Chain A
């Protein structure tokens, strides 16, 4: 075996070592912080008036161990993750957001971040991004160089969640609901029960008793949908059963390509959304 082959075969190492090598080490704290804390204790014990010498710095979001998780930061006890959507990168800071401090996030240090008290589910962080570029007038894609931009970070209880609001009642898709973590959307028992009853997605018609409620209005990605028939995923037909408020069906389609089908086949059906206590409900 030669070196190039050996290098190729190193690719076969166990998955845990591949993941482990992506973990970022925790930054060591500056030693003077320890001494400063010790000095503060001594001063307090000795009864000296130290007020005014030590002050609380502006609260900074802690960057948690990135490890396997996408870039994230914690602000006011809420963990915000970078949005998975392509429309989450802004050239200009959206209105209503104001500078709140600096943070280390996603491998970038001292990034300014911005909050909006009227929109606590989002935080914007200014750091380097790589976008696909833009299409010029001739239709050619002009790749964008890495550049700084305002990037949307979303409350972990909302990020990636496909939610529909019907007159203040919230429904979450079986694809996106999470029964685990610090802030589970639902309990395991409830999820198991709902999955056993309704599944995750059905093909064909809705079950008997479910009628068309209308088409959802799109509130925007990563938003909390509010009002009647509003979705944060897009415009879809919604079917509900007035006698069964625990579930709704939301129109969808998908493609498969199995060996038997020989070609791409379109399927039409419905995603199952179950009722849940949305933490953002007003």
Chain B
């Protein structure tokens, strides 16, 4: 079924919407979650929570042209929170590792007064990503959006691990420079 029709079902408060969403995107969403939590049962829980969240926020949201990305963003947040809450998942350390890498990109990480809202942040990060070449962007997104390990990225993108590491290092550096140059204090 087309995304547009599925979103219409959400608007009509028709529970078939969830069935159709799960039929079309269930496997992919579970894979996103499993990539973050590394536990299939938890990933299934996150998937169910995603449908509930989608049910609650469509409407007012109307993601007719980007339903998958919309759902993927929800499941990413839910899975990330799950990792933080469930120490037993053993993924906490990995999330901390990624957080530390991200901190390298922030010009003034301790400045608590310098906050920007989500809209501005999205604009900044998308501008930065648009200036990267496709391969570097994919590596960056796989690492920090999908939370893949370096080995997973190298397998998925058919690149050597050293190339992935170098690319990530340079992109982080470039992001920091970009943020400084553009005058953003996060």
Contacts and interface: CB of A to CB of B under 8 A. Distances in A.
A12 B122 contact: yes
A19 B129 CA distance: 14
A22 B77 CA distance: 18
A14 interface: yes
A258 interface: yes
B125 A20 contact: no
Contact of A70 (B27, B40, B70, B122): B27
Contacts of B23: 84
Contacts, number: 127
Interface string A7-30: 111111111111111111101100
Nearest to B101: A3
Given A6-B105, A12-B118, A13-B125, A18 B142 contact: no
Contacts of B15: 254-257, 264
B1 A176 contact: yes
B130 to A, nearest CB: 8
A21 B129 contact: no
Given A10-B102, A11-B145, 15 more contacts: A3-B102, A4-B102, A6-B99, A6-B105, A8-B80, A9-B118, A12-B118, A13-B122, A15-B66, A18-B69, A19-B69, A27-B158, A68-B68, A255-B15, A258-B13
A28 B157 CA distance: 12
A84 B102 CA distance: 38
Contact of A20 (B100, B138, B158, B186): B138
B142 A21 contact: yes
**Prevailing SS type, chain A contact patch:** loop
B157 A7 contact: no
Interface in A15-70: 15-25, 27-28, 68, 70
Nearest to B129: A17
B66 A256 contact: no
Interface of A: 1-4, 6-25, 27-28, 68, 70, 84, 130, 143, 160, 175-176, 200, 254-258, 261, 264
Contact of B109 (A3, A8, A258): A3
**Considering the complex of A and B, which 3 residue pairs feature the smallest CB-CB distances, nearest first?**
A15-B69, A3-B103, A3-B99
A200 B66 CA distance: 23
Contact of B99 (A2, A20, A160): A2
**Prevailing SS type, chain B contact patch:** helix
Interface in B6-58: 12-16, 23-24, 27-28, 40-41
18 contacts: A1-B116, A9-B121, A9-B122, A10-B102, A10-B144, A11-B76, A11-B145, A12-B73, A12-B125, A15-B68, A17-B126, A18-B69, A18-B145, A24-B156, A70-B27, A254-B14, A254-B15, A255-B15
A261 B41 CA distance: 34
B183 to A, nearest CB: 15
A14 B118 CA distance: 12
B73 to A, nearest CB: 5
B150 interface: no
A257 B99 contact: no
Contact of B41 (A2, A21, A143): A143
